[in-house]
């Protein structure tokens, strides 16, 4: 059973470090494993700059400002469309602002890799239906799962919050 993570770079602001794509694939797989996702899955991850993520954030969330990561889940209530060729569940799209990730990595004093892994794990949980926007227990559960997965990846949290919580 193998998952497919399609990664594309549509920005030139931040050089994508070697090994980052492998780390993103490991992060996606770690979340699916942790959540005991029952079938092969397909996820798309796109790197953009602040200007592009601001456009998407404005268009889809009515928030006209850059953010670090956006999740576009394709499933609802645990029901997903499937790739006709591979049979994999189509979980959705993750869009990461590499520019913002770099800024946050510097702010929190950890490597860009650590920040991108956190954003990927965070976004994967959104694709699987978790939502921290409502706050309360749901947000706490999401944080705990992020932390557990990052520890599995050997990247325990120092301090890292998504931009919306600052």
Reply yes or no on whether the pLDDT at 162 is more than 50: no
Q: What is the pLDDT of residues 20-37, one digit of tens each?
A: 999 999 999 999 999 999
Kindly tell me the sign of the dihedral angle through the C-alpha atoms of 99, 101, 106, 110. negative
CA distances from 133 to 28, 71, 76, 110, 141 (A): 21, 13, 17, 25, 12
pLDDT of 166 reads 38
Residue 69: beta bridge partners? 96
Listed by start position, the domains of the chain span 4-159
Residue 96: beta bridge partners? 47, 69
Q: What is the pLDDT of residues 92-135, one digit of tens each?
A: 999 999 999 999 999 999 999 999 999 999 999 999 999 877 77
Helix (H) or strand (E) holding 22: helix 20-34
- Give the pTM: 0.91
**Residue of 115, 96, 22 whose CA lies nearest to 52:** 96
Q: Parallel, antiparallel, or unpaired: how do β-strands 69-73 and 41-48 relate?
A: unpaired
Beta-strand ranges (E) seen in 78-163 are: 89-97
Own/partner contacts of 13-20, CB < 8 Å, gap of 24 or more, are: 13/49, 13/50, 13/98, 13/99, 14/47, 14/49, 14/98, 14/99, 14/101, 14/102, 14/112, 16/47, 16/98, 17/112, 17/113, 19/113, 20/112, 20/113, 20/116
Domain 4-159 homologous superfamily, CATH = Metalloproteases ("zincins"), catalytic domain (3.40.390.30)
Kindly tell me the sign of the dihedral angle through the C-alpha atoms of 137, 74, 123, 133. negative
């Amino acid at each position: 059973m193998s998952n497919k993570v399609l990664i594309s770079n549509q920005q030139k602001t931040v050089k994508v470090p070697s090994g980052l794509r492998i780390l993103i694939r490991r992060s996606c797989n770690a979340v699916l494993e942790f959540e005991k996702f029952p079938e092969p899955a397909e996820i798309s991850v796109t790197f953009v700059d602040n200007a592009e993520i601001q456009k998407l954030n404005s268009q889809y969330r009515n928030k006209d400002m850059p953010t670090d990561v956006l999740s576009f889940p394709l499933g609802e209530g645990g029901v997903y469309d499937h790739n006709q060729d591979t049979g994999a569940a189509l979980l959705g799209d993750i869009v990461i602002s590499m520019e913002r990730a770099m800024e946050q990595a510097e702010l929190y004093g950890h490597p860009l890799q650590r920040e991108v892994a956190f954003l990927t794990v965070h976004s994967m949980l959104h694709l699987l239906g978790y939502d921290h926007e409502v706050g309360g227990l749901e947000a706490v559960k999401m944080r705990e799962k992020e932390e557990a997965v990052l520890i599995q990846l050997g990247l325990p949290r120092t301090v890292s919050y998504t931009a919306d919580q600052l």
